[in-house]
A and B are shown apart, each in its own frame.
Chain A
């Protein structure tokens, strides 16, 4: 039997959060953490968490699994269980709505700030804006982000200043548009980032890289943004 400890908090009933212990029979199979949560929900329907695609594409079930942020649906028990114990908490740093569900408004507000869409005021060509294979290759490792928030909620700078520091996820997306050959707003985008908080609160501790379930590297993207700022300002 696997010992599972889960963060529980229902603001309508509980005065404060607590950890609830469960025992789960996994029949010795190396199932995913989400499978354990689903099994527990059949026993206790009040257990609340987000999930959708169950294959690491939608980014809904980001939780803190035995101390490390990750997607419950693609984290096998063999990676998460320590000493026959599995501890599941909500992603840290953002307000908890209930159990494992967090309020991601602050995270989305930062995403909105970086204008996550193509800006190009040139007249649209007859068919489409073309890119060379090399230009397209620059977007690899950037466009794959699914906005699960595992990285930003693993970042102490984002914990302390979620209203001012864009966070690794938002900055990865910012660079995705800075690197896009079809985008013409590079200077405006850079000007919006050159303050002591938006980009420069990143101290390069690379928690984001360690936890990204898609294997992306926000620290590297932030380094590229910094280089672009240096190029344009010196």
Chain B
């Protein structure tokens, strides 16, 4: 058992499940938006604003944003723990890795808050 404190779900299984579920959410959103654009070739601003100000669409967008954030957190955490390690770049690696992990988490959370502000500001 390897302990971790900066991974999203702490357990390998929960990270794995979040990664799969968030991938499905993002795919569904992409397909929906694609189909929406295809079926509305003469889309204007009023229509677009109406779609995005409806509560179900806001929920859908928010869930997708949370999925992107979780997916990115888990993915970036994997990349950082693969390549910024004491084995590969020496004893300073731990400090550098924590710096990047916390930076990555902070940026992810900022994007989420900013996205919520945009969604509910329409």
Residues of A within 8 A of B (CB): 157, 160-164, 191-201, 226, 229-230, 233
Contact = CB atoms under 8 A, between A and B. Distances in A.
A17 B81 CA distance: 28
Given A160-B88, A164-B2, A194 B82 contact: no
- Listed from nearest, the 7 A-B pairs whose CB atoms lie closest are A200-B12, A160-B82, A197-B2, A196-B12, A195-B2, A196-B7, A164-B2
Contacts of B13: 194, 200, 226, 229-230, 233
15 contacts: A161-B87, A162-B87, A164-B2, A195-B1, A196-B2, A196-B7, A196-B12, A196-B78, A197-B81, A198-B1, A200-B13, A200-B16, A229-B12, A229-B13, A230-B13
A195 B4 contact: yes
B78 to A, nearest CB: 8
Contacts of A162: 87
Given A157-B82, A161-B82, A161-B85, A197 B16 contact: no
Interface in B74-90: 77-78, 81-83, 85, 87-88
Contacts of B85: 160-161
Contacts of B17: 230
Contacts of B11: 194-196, 233
A91 to B, nearest CB: 17
Contacts of A160: 82-83, 85, 87-88
B16 A226 contact: yes
B3 interface: yes
Nearest to A198: B2
A200 B82 contact: no
A226 B87 CA distance: 28
Contacts of B77: 196
A196 B4 contact: yes
A77 B114 CA distance: 61
B12 A197 contact: yes
B12 A199 contact: yes
B111 to A, nearest CB: 23
Contacts of A200: 12-13, 15-16
